[in-house]
Amino acid sequence: MGFPATHLSLVRRAGSGDTATRTGAEEALAAVYWVPIYAHVRLTHRQEPADAEDLTQGFFADALRRGLFARYDPERARFRTYVRRCVDSYVANALQAERRLKRGGAAAFVPIEVAEIEGRLTNEPDADAAFQREWVRSVLTAAVRQLRERYRDSGRVVQLTLFERYDLADSDEARPTYAELATEHDIRVTQVTNWLAAARRDFRAIVLDTVRDLSGSDDEFRADVRDLLGVEPR
Amino acid sequence: MSSISDAALARLRALVDQPAEHPRYEIGELIGEGGMGSVYLAHDLELDREVALKVLREPTATADERERILREARILASLEHPGIVPVHDVGTLPDGRLFYVMKRVRGERFDDFVRGPRSRTELLRAFLQVCDAVAFAHAAGVIHRDLKPQNVMLGAFGEVLVLDWGVAKTSRQPSRSASDATAGTAAGTPGYMAPEQMNGEADERADVYGLGGVLFFLLMREHPSAARETASQWASNASIPPAALRAICERARAGDPAARYQSAASVASDVANYLDALPVAAHTEGIVERTKRIAVRHRTAILLVLAYLVMRVALLVFTRN
């Protein structure tokens, strides 16, 4: 379960000489880091939502243009720390020059629901905690997206629906029972149990692969998994 | 796609942490967490019984961490004693996490037990069983290194079990090995951890210090602080324990290992002596204290003699009249 020596993570692929590989990796990194960085700009740099959105988009445009992700050195810091330092530097320069980047040219890296993010940032005094929580949410959201693609592509629609209805329910009250799910899909309760177990196992593997992809080294991978699980290192 | 809700987020995090299914063990609720492992209630489908399954807490464990949980299982398996929880099985889950299966212990943790309506004698008798299990482990060359009330369980039939041998070391193992349970830091719990453990040094006397901490908790119903503060902690309590028990506790918790009891068995011996109203090695009695102790020890005989004397006096008075 460690970090394979031959594995080229997204972070490393972002430094690839091959344009297609590099662009794909950069876009994937942007997809995971957009919301955490928005939260960081809002809370650490105390920017209004519209300005924070512009600065976040601007940062990614700048990062891709200058190849910032490719310059990351795993020996010096965790990738997340490096990204935040780059953001801080970018925001300081942008504010000093009193310029706002033009939304990263024509590129919008991820669909943005700023109002939804704002709802979560209200009354959040701790910028680090917000960044951490939004990073975890982005990683798990990316993993759910990948699970959906995989299950739809392989025709396992009922299994996916069970997982969505039971494990992705917005509240505990909204969760159906296994028996209700069995009735809804005309299957046995044991089938619900087995299919949910399989979906969870796949989800778990995808999450670990996603985190591994976002890490630059074995140590960083382990530290990121700890953060994701909320485990305090002892 | 819109992002997932806080409730789903918490659930998904737990899912990632949940051990994968095993063909033999149906894993249920989380019943305990330690430094490196989580303990789940599980059902052994082959033997149709409840067991406790301890699994590495992180799915990304290093070789060192895997070695530690294996070592813990092997240590437990080597200690066949009624006061030490038996290990049934060791294995690897489909997700690669190491686990071991042990007896499911039903009962009450010692700290909860102590806080209940128990007599001091009842608590001291349970403490003697803890000493007995620890002395057995020492005889087998195993030092627990994290003795505290939270690591002792009392079963429904009065049995006492010492749990969580995750930071235990064997006499074959160097004081601070690469696979030390807390490599880079000291193993143990503040208040119960002997001072020398801070330097990674621990022999049987480190466990004697831990036993002293458990005894302190038993007497005072509060966690001990550093040894040097014990005297002020005694004074701050509404009911100060008898001097002999305080002396036993203080000797067990002496900062210098050479000044402590040299074995768990000698702690037990002194506590047993106290219960039997015999002199304890850790305490020098005054004449009043000694008289009272002897009176307690021989109270039946003294009462019989007194009764005899009263009868004789009464008979004498009656005869004269």
pLDDT tens track for B18-38 = 787 788 998 888 888 766 788
Are the beta carbons of B214 and B192 closer than 8 angstroms?
A: yes
Catalytic residue, from B44, B146, B207, B270: name it: B146
Closest by Cα among B30, B13, B14, B11 to A171: B11
Chain A residues in contact with B21 (beta carbon < 8 A) = 197, 201
Whole-number Å distance between alpha carbons of A216 and A78: 8
CA distances from B216 to A46, B212, B230, B234, B250 (A): 52, 6, 9, 9, 9
* CB nearest B9 (choices: A116, A136, A197): A136
Chain B residue with minimal CA distance to A113? B2
Which residues between 87 and 116 in chain B have a beta carbon less than 8 angstroms from any beta carbon of chain A?
A: 94-97
Up-side HSE of residue B240: CA atoms within 13 Å toward CB? 12
The alpha-carbon gap from B61 to the nearest alpha carbon of chain A, in Å, equals: 8
In this complex, how many residue pairs, one in chain A and one in chain B, have their CB atoms less than 8 Å apart?
94
**% of chain B at pLDDT higher than 70:** 88
B146 is catalytic: yes
- Write down the residue that tokens 């009249």 correspond to: B321
- Write down the residue that tokens 């599980």 correspond to: B42
* CB nearest A204 (choices: B16, B61, B62): B16
Which helix (H) or strand (E) covers residue B74, if one does? helix B63-78
Whole-number Å distance between alpha carbons of B96 and A97: 53
Whole-number Å distance between alpha carbons of B112 and B101: 25
Q: What per-residue confidence (pLDDT) applies to B58?
A: 66
Cβ separation A229–B61 shorter than 8 A: no
- List, for residues B246-304, the tens digit of each pLDDT value: 999 999 999 999 999 999 999 999 999 999 888 888 888 888 888 888 888 888 888 89
Residue B258, chain A, CB below 8 Å: the answer is: no
Instruction: Examine the pLDDT at B185 and tell me if it is beyond 80.
Output: no
* CB nearest B13 (choices: A113, A208, A229): A229
Whole-number Å distance between alpha carbons of A177 and A189: 10
Residue A129, chain B, CB below 8 Å: the answer is: no
Chain B residue with minimal CA distance to A226? B58
Query: What's chain A's Rg over C-alpha atoms?
Result: 20
ipTM of the complex: 0.73
The DSSP secondary-structure symbol of A72 reads -
Residue B189, chain A, CB below 8 Å: the answer is: no
Cβ separation B60–A140 shorter than 8 A: no
Which of B89-98, B161-170, B218-227, B282-291 is modeled with the greatest confidence?
B161-170
Up-side HSE of residue B127: CA atoms within 13 Å toward CB? 34
Whole-number Å distance between alpha carbons of A212 and B63: 18
Residue B35, chain A, CB below 8 Å: the answer is: yes
Residue B7, chain A, CB below 8 Å: the answer is: yes
Residue B4, chain A, CB below 8 Å: the answer is: yes
A190's tokens: 């044991």
Chain B residue with minimal CA distance to A136? B9
Residue A149, chain B, CB below 8 Å: the answer is: no
Cβ separation B58–A225 shorter than 8 A: yes
Are the beta carbons of A203 and B15 closer than 8 angstroms?
A: yes
Longest dimension (CA), chain B: 110
Chain A residues in contact with B60 (beta carbon < 8 A) = 1-2, 208, 221-222, 225
Whole-number Å distance between alpha carbons of A103 and B193: 58
Q: Does the model's pTM come out above 0.90?
A: no
Q: Which residue has the higher pLDDT, A171 or B61?
A: A171
Residue B151 pLDDT class (50, 70, 90 cuts): very high
Q: Minimum mean pLDDT among A67-71, A224-228, B140-144: which range?
A: A224-228
The alpha-carbon gap from A213 to the nearest alpha carbon of chain B, in Å, equals: 14
Are the beta carbons of B19 and B54 closer than 8 angstroms?
A: no
φ, ψ for residue B274, nearest 5 deg: -60, -45
The DSSP secondary-structure symbol of A176 reads P
φ, ψ for residue B99, nearest 5 deg: -145, 160
Cβ separation A228–B9 shorter than 8 A: no
